Amino acid sequence: MAPLRSLSNPVSSFNDPFAKTSARAGEVWFPTFNSNGERGIVAGGSPNLSHELIQYINVASAGNATNFGQLHTNVHMAAGMSNKVRGVLGGGYMHQPSTAAQNYMQYFTIASTGNASDFGDLTVGRDRAGSVSNVTRGCVCGGSGRNPSAYKEDTIDYITISSTGNAQDFGNLTVARERMMGGSCDGIRGVIWGDADSSPAETSKLDYITLDTTGNATNFGDPAMRREAHASSGNLTRGVCGGGYGPSAPNGTNVIEYITIATTGNSQDFGDLTASKTSLAALASNTRGVWAGGYPNMNVIEYVTIATTGNGTDFGDLLQINEWGTGTQGDA
């Protein structure tokens, strides 16, 4: 049988059976069959012993977190990626013995419990990076290198999640930025939410990349609220971002915003978290967006239904107070 043909797609040939048409012509479509899974993971964090702990929840039901295991290297502010089977943490800030941004990556199998193992290294050490992933690739975007001459990074790295090894260069963000935990991905396009730095103002914008290619990021739109130390996730349709602080909320915010990932444009108001908080972890199933922990001194887990709009609902509690933890998800 002849392949489906593509019209108005300059990236791939006319006969390419996986070339997209419609409003996103110009991107190459890959059969990722991505979905998030119902086991949510919160790994690392601070203070006290949280930086070594991995814990999990069943996103489909409410309840408290359960112990999963320990990280291989104690970090917080790491970038979380997953292909539903394997979770990977990239970089982060190490507590001991070296208090510095790390290039180290570690992984665990989501369906089982146990400790994390070495995966490889990022191209540059950093923490508080944005991250997006599908069933093939994970990308770590930007972050803080803790280098006075290059405090903010614009580097995008990628890995093949099912294997182990060092990251490779993907491209660059539209501008260097940091303090972005997570990102939103529909399996094809990954969106990185900006930070609130006023110099340059472009750091507050949203960027996007096409995961199964390489190249520099493109501007997606503007957030309704400029902020940093926020946390974002999403399903195959929408991205959601909550918490953080910024010029209009220097002590933290409870605002949740959303985007439609397949299009470009500005984010819109979704609702409110149960409390104002910063430095929190985010994860999602196909139906629910979840936020866990945060500053000041929180162990609260809450959720929203991504397909609707509305305020957060109490889910349960983490095992202990957790700030700057990393969220990801997969199948149990």
pLDDT at 3 over 90: no
pLDDT at 26 over 90: no
Q: Can you name the CATH fold of 43-330?
A: Neuraminidase (2.120.10)
Please state the separation of Cα 248 from the chain's center in Å: 24
pLDDT at 98: 63
Q: In what order do the strands lie in the sheet with 86-90?
A: 79-82, 86-90, 104-109, 117-121
Mean pLDDT of 160-188: 95
Taking the whole predicted model, whether its pTM rises above 0.95 is answered as: no
Cα-based distances in Å from 156 to 43, 167, 177: 22, 10, 11
Share of the chain above pLDDT 90, in %: 73
Domain boundary assignment for the chain: 43-330
Phi-psi map region of 63: left, alpha, beta (phi>0 left; psi -120 to 50 alpha): left
Mean pLDDT of 67-75: 92
CA distance 63 to 314: 9
User: Of 10-24, 29-43, 229-243, where does mean pLDDT reach its minimum?
Assistant: 10-24
> How sure is the predictor about 180, in pLDDT bands with cuts at 50, 70 and 90?
confident
Mean pLDDT of 157-185: 95
